[in-house]
Amino acid sequence: MNSRTSSLSSISDLFRPNNPKGLRSRDLSSTRLSALKKEINTDTHLIPLKDLYTLLGTDPVNGLSSQKAQELLDYYGLNTLTPPTHYTVPKLLLKSLCTGFSILIWLGAILCLSAYLIELSTKPDPSTDNLYLGCVLIAVDLICGIFSFFQNYKSSKIMKTFNSMIPMHTTCLRDGILNRNTEVRDLVKGDIIYVEIGDVIPADIRIIESRGFKVDNSSLTGECIAVPRHNTDGSANILESPNVAFFSSLCVEGWAKGVVLFCGDLTALGRVAGLAARLQPAPSPLSREIRRFMRCMSTCALALGIFIASASMILGYPFMQTSIFVIGIVVANIPEGLQPTITASLTLTAKRMVTRNCLVKNLEAIEALGACTTICSDKTGTLTENKMCVRHIWTWNKTYSILDKEFENFLQNDQALNSLKICGALCSNATVVKSGVIRGDASEKAILNFLFNYCDPVTIRKRYPKIVEIPFNSVNKYQISIHLNEEKKTYLLVMKGAPECILSRCVTIAFNNKSISMTEDIKQAVNTTTENLANTGERILAFADCDLDSNEYPLNYPFDTENPNFPVDELRFLGLIGLKDPPREQVRSAIERVRAAGVRVMMVTGDHPATARAVAIEVGIATTPSCHIVTGTELRNMSPDLLYLTLAKHYEIVFARTSPTQKLQIVEACQKQGGVVAVTGDGVNDAPALRRADIGISMGIAGSQVSKQTADIILMDDNFATIVTGIEEGRKIFDNLKKSVCYILISNVPEILPVLMFILFSIPLPLGVMTILCVDLGTDMWPAVSLSHEQAEQDVMARPPRTSDPLVSNRMIRLVYLHLGLIEFAAGMFAYFIVMAEHGFYPSQLFGIRQKWDNVAVTDVEDSLGQEWTYAERKELERACQATYFVAVVVTQMMNCIICKTRYNSIFHVGMKNNVLNIGLIFELILACMVCYIPGVNTFFKTYPLRLRWWFLALPFAALMFIFDEFRKHCIRNHMFGGWFNKFTFY
C-alpha cells in the first residue's frame, strides 16, 4: 500500500503547478506523458471510507476546513486540465524554416549574398546577379518554410474542448456549510460534494450516500448507458468500480454525496485529456519517407558541394568562382518543387474527398490510409448506430425476429403479443414529444420506436392512464406501474425488468388467448432463450402483467408505492424483448472490402465481451464464433511482449472492456509491429488512441467534439464505407505521387550535369541557377501536380497494403538518373551546342574556353570563324544558349510528363484523357514562352527571346524518350528478357 501511495503522490507531484522537480518544461511535459500512459493505480476506492477520510484529512459531515482546502489548492493547483507545453510559434517557425532542403538553400543564399558583399567591397559597380539570386533563394526558402509551418502548426484546441466539458459551479460542503455556488476549479482532494440529476460531476468522487444515482460514463467508456453508482465495495479496476463516479460524467438520475478522490489532471478524464493533448502522432509513412529521401538528397548535394568546393579551392579558383560552383551544384541537386508538389497533390485529393463526405484535417493522413495495415475500430457509434433497437421478441416458446418478413402477421394474430405491446407502451418512463421525438432511457426509447411501427403507444397510454409507479432501481431490478383500464374500469399492473427477476415473480404465462401456469420447463425455456439472446449481444427485458380484481381493488383504491399494498408476485409472464445496438448498414460490406484489400480490422471497445463478439461476428470482423477476445482485465496483466505476441498470433482479435489508456497501448503495440494503424472512434475515450494512430478517423455526426478535434479524418456522414474510398484514394495518390516524384527528379539530371560540365570541361555554363529554379518551381509544378489526377492503373484494392514499397525506390533512381534524365541532358546539351555553333563557336572551340569567356577584362574571345566577342556579347550569347537549354528541358519534360502518366500500361491504352494534365502541358509551354519573351522577365531569369527554330532542337530526343519508355513498359508488361526491366526499372 505504501508503494501505491508513494507512486500516487509522485504523479500528483508531477502535476503541481509550480514545477516541483525543477525540470525543463519540455522534459516535464514528456515525463507527464509517460506517467499518464500508465493505468490508474490506486486503492482509494477499495479501502473503508473511514480510512479514506483519515487519508484525505476530511470529514463527511463538515467537509474540509476552508483553510486546509486553500492549502491543498495552493499545493496541488486548480481543479482544471493543464494544457501541455508546446513548441512556441517562433520556435516552430524556425524549425520549419530549417528542415529538409531548407538548410542547403540557406547555405546557397548565404554564399550568394557573401559573394555579392565581397564584390561590393572590391568593385565600384558590382553586378547585382548574386544579390538577386540570393534574394530569390531566400524567398523560396521562406515560402516553403511558411508553407510547411502552416501545415504543421495546428493550434491545439484539444484541451479547450476538454475543458468545455467541465461545469462551472457545484455544491460543496466546507466548514460544515453547504455552498451551492462553489467554483469547480477550487475543488481539492477530500472535498465533500453533492450532485443531483442534470449535474456534471466536477471531479472523481467516491460515493458516500446516494439515492437512485445513475451516471452516464460515455466519456470514459464510450457506451451511452446510465449506470447506477452507490456506496458499496469497489472492484479492483477503478474504472468499473460501482462506488466511484467520474469527472465530466453526467448524472442522469437521482442524487449522491461523495468525497473527491482526484482533481484536475489526475482524474480519469484528466488523464485521457492529458494523453490526447500531449501525445505526438507518429510521423506518417509518407512524411517518414520524404524525410529519409530528403536527407539522402541533401547529403548527396552537400557532399558533392563540399567536394567541388575543396577541389576548386585546391585548384586555386577564387572564392567567387568557387561559390558559383557550389551554389550551382546545390541548387541543381535539390528538387525544390518536391514538397509543394506533394502538398498540392494531397490538398487536391483532400478536396475531392470532401465531396465524398470525408473531411481531411491532416493531409498526409490520406496517403497513410492507403498504406494502412490495421484498422482498430471502436464499436459503439462507429460500427453500430449507438441506438438501441428491438431485435427479438419471445413469447410462449417462440422467438420472433423483427427482421423476419412474416413478423407482422404474427403480431396481428397473437393475443399474448398484444398484451406485450400494451405492457411495453405503459411500463415506460419515456415520453413522446409532439413531433414524434422520444425522450428517455435508450431501451425504452427503442421499445417505443418499435411499437410505433405496429400500433400507437400514445393512444394506448390514453386508454390506460397511469395511476402510480415504482421506478427502476438497481436493488429491485424491476419497474412497476399501475394503470386504469378506462373501458373496463379495472386496474392493470404492468412490470418490466431483468428476466430472472421477473420470472421468479410469475406464476402463469400468457399463451395465445389464455394464461397457463408456469412450469419448470417453461422457466427453463425462458432461461435458455435469455442466454442465447444475451450471447448475441442483446440486452433482454422481461415483461409481466396482472389484471387486478375490481372487487379487491375498486376505483380510487389508495395504492402505496413505499409499502406495496398490491401484488408484486404471482403475475402473468408475457414475454421477452431483446434489444440491441444494430450495426450500421454499410459496415459489413465495407469491412469485407477492407479485408479483401489486405487490411486487418480489429475491434477495440469499452463494451462487454459478449456484445463485442456478437457485433464482431455480425459485421464480419470475426469470421468464426471462436474469435480471440481480450478483455481489459486480461490486458492489464499482459506484458507488452505478450500483447505483441497475441497480435501476431491471432488475426482476428476483439478487445473488450478496454480503458482509454489500453486503447492507446493496443495502437502502440500494432505500430511496434511495423503496422500503419488507423483508429476509428467517436467518443472522448478514443481520443488518445485517435491521436496516437497514424490515421485517426472520427464520426462527423455522432462523434464527440473531442474526437473530432483529435482526428485526422472526419467521416461527415458517419458512413464506414467512406473508409474504403479513403483507402482507395490513398493508394491511388501514392501511385500517382510516385509518378510526380519521378517526373520532378528527372529534371534534376539536366540541372546537375551542366554544372559538372562547366566545372570539368570548362565550357560556358549551359544552364544558369535562375533557370534551374524556373524549371523546379515554375514549369515543372503544374504538370507534376496534375499527375495526381491520373486514374489508377490497376485495381488498387486488389493488392495488400504497401509495406516495403517506398516512394522513391532504387529502381526509380536508376530510371531517372541513368536513363531518362540522361536523354534530357543530351537534348539540352545538343541544343546548347547548336546555338553556339550557329553563332560561330563550334563544340571543339568551347572546351576549355571558360577562363577567357568569364573574364570581364578579355574583350576579344575568338570563335571558330575568327569573329571576336566582347564580354557583353559573350554573355548575351551564353544567355541565349542557356535559354535554349532551358527550352530543351521544358520540351523533353513535357514528353516526360506524358511518359510518367503510366508506370505499367501503354500510353496508347491510357490515352490523354487527363485534362488537368493537358492544360498543365500547355501552361508549361506558355510559362516557358513568358520566361523567354517578356522583356524584364527574361533579363531577370537570364533567358533570351529565342528564334523559333531553336524550340524544335529537342524534339528528336523527346521522341527517343518516348520510344525507349514505351519499349520499357512493353517489356515490363510482357515480362521480356526474363523480367530484367521489371527488376531493374519498374518503380
Partner 1 sequence: MTVKKRPSDLTSLERFNMYYREREPPLTAGQKFQRFIWNPKTRQFCGRTGASWSKIALFYFIFYAALAVLVAICMWTFLQLLDARQPRWQLDSSIIGTNPGLGFRPTPPEVASSVIWYKGNDPGSYQFWIKELSNFLKKYKRDANKSGAGQNIHNCDFKLPPPAGKVCDVDVNAWSPCIEENGFAYHKSTPCIFLKLNKIYAWKPEFYNSSDHLPSAMPEDLKEHIRNMTAYDKNYLNMVWVSCQGENPADRENIGPIQYLPYRGFPGYYFPYSNQEGYLSPLVAVHLQRPKTGMLINIECRAWAHNIKYDRVEGIGSVHIEIMVE
Rounded Cα–Cα distance for residues 773 and 791 (Å)? 30
For partner 1, which is the closer residue by CB, 296 or 872?
Answer: 872
Shortest distance in whole angstroms from residue 867 CB to partner 1? 5
Nearer to partner 1, 140 or 877 (CB): 877
Shortest gap between Cβ of 868 and partner 1 (angstroms)? Answer: 4
Closest to partner 1 by CB, 143 or 760: 760
Beta bridge partners of 470: 480
Q: Which residues contact 152 (CB under 8 A, 6 or more apart)?
A: 92, 96
DSSP string, 31-44: HHHHHHHSPP---T
Cβ proximity to partner 1, 318 vs 554, nearer residue = 318
Write down the least CB distance from residue 538 to partner 1, Å. Answer: 30
Shortest distance, position 860 Cβ to partner 1, whole Å: 4
Check the CA dihedral 18-21-25-30 and report its sign.
negative
Contact by Cβ (8 Å): 349, 729 = yes
- Cβ atoms of 348 and 363 within 8 Å: the answer is no
Compute the CA torsion angle 835, 836, 838, 841 (nearest 10 deg).
Answer: -170
Contact of 454 with 434, CB cutoff 8 Å: no
Three-class SS of 682-734 = CCHHHHHHHHHCCEEEEECCCCCHHHHHHCCEEECCCCCHHHHHHHHHHHHHH
Report, in Å, the least distance between residue 811 CB and partner 1.
13
Tell me whether residue 211 or residue 947 sits nearer to partner 1 (CB atom).
947
Q: What is the nearest approach in angstroms of partner 1 to the Cβ of residue 647?
A: 10
Parallel, antiparallel, or unpaired for β 677-681 and 695-699?
parallel
Among 42, 31, 37, 36, CA closest to 8: 42
> 356: Cβ–Cβ under 8 A, 6 or more apart, which residues?
722, 725
Which residue is associated with the grid cell 470475426? Answer: 622
Q: Half-sphere exposure of residue 252, counting CA atoms within 13 Å on the CB side? A: 16
Please give, one letter per residue, the 3-state secondary structure of 831-876: HHHHHHHHCCCCHHHHCCCHHHHCCCCCCCEECCCCCEECHHHHHH
Smallest distance from the beta carbon of 571 to partner 1, in angstroms? 51
Q: In this structure, how many other beta carbons lie within 10 angstroms of the beta carbon of residue 971?
A: 18
- Nearest to partner 1 of 652, 780 (CB atom): 652
| CB of 575 or CB of 821, closer to partner 1 | 821
* Closest C-alpha to 861, from 883, 877, 882, 838: 877
C-alpha 24/C-alpha 6 separation (Å) is 23
> Which residue lies nearer to partner 1 by CB, 48 or 866?
866
In Å, what is the CA distance from 12 to each residue of 17, 32, 77?
A: 10, 10, 10
**Between the CA of residue 856 and those of 132, 328, 525, what are the distances in Å?**
20, 20, 107
For residues 708, 710, 715, 721, the Cα torsion angle rounded to the nearest 10 degrees is: -140
* C-alpha Rg value of the chain to the nearest Å: 37
Residue of 824, 826, 818, 821 whose CA lies nearest to 985: 818
DSSP E strand boundaries for 204-295 = 204-216, 226-228, 244-245, 250-262
Closer to partner 1 by Cβ: residue 38 or 814: 814
Closest CB 956 distance from partner 1, rounded Å: 6
Measured over the CA atoms of residue 164, residue 165, residue 168 and residue 174, the dihedral's sign is negative
Q: Which is nearer to partner 1, 437 or 857 (CB)?
A: 857
CB of 813 to partner 1, least distance (A): 15
**Site residues for partner 1 per CB under 8 A:** 125, 318, 598, 600, 648-651, 799-800, 803, 818-819, 822-823, 826, 829-830, 833-834, 837-840, 842-843, 851, 855-860, 862-863, 865-873, 876-877, 880, 956-957, 960, 964, 980, 984
**378 tagged catalytic:** yes
Q: What is the 3-state secondary structure (H, E, C) of 457-484?
A: HHHHHHHCCEEEEECCCCCCCEEEEEEE
Q: How many residues does the chain have?
A: 987
Maximum CA pair distance of the chain?
135
How many CA atoms are closer than 13 Å to the CA of 834, on its beta-carbon side?
A: 18
- Least Cα distance to 330 among 148, 134, 144 occurs for 134
**Minimum distance between the CB of residue 826 and partner 1, rounded to whole angstroms?**
5
Task: Kindly state the smallest distance separating residue 345's Cβ from partner 1, in Å.
Answer: 24
Choice between 361 and 819, CB closer to partner 1 = 819
Nearer Cβ to partner 1 (871/923): 871
* Secondary structure of 387-428 in HEC code, one letter for each residue: CCEEEEEEECCEEEECCCCCHHHHHHHCHHHHHHHHHHHHCC
CB of 794 to partner 1, least distance (A): 8
The residue from 129, 204, 378, 414 that is catalytic is 378
Q: How far is the CB of 120 from partner 1 (least distance, A)?
A: 15
What distance lies between CA 768 and its chain's CA centroid?
Answer: 44
375 vs 503 by CB, closer to partner 1: 375
Strand partners, 192: 173, 259
Report how far residue 591's alpha carbon sits from residue 595's, in angstroms, rounded to the nearest whole number. Answer: 6
CB of 213 within 8 A of CB of 234? no
Please list the active-site residues.
378
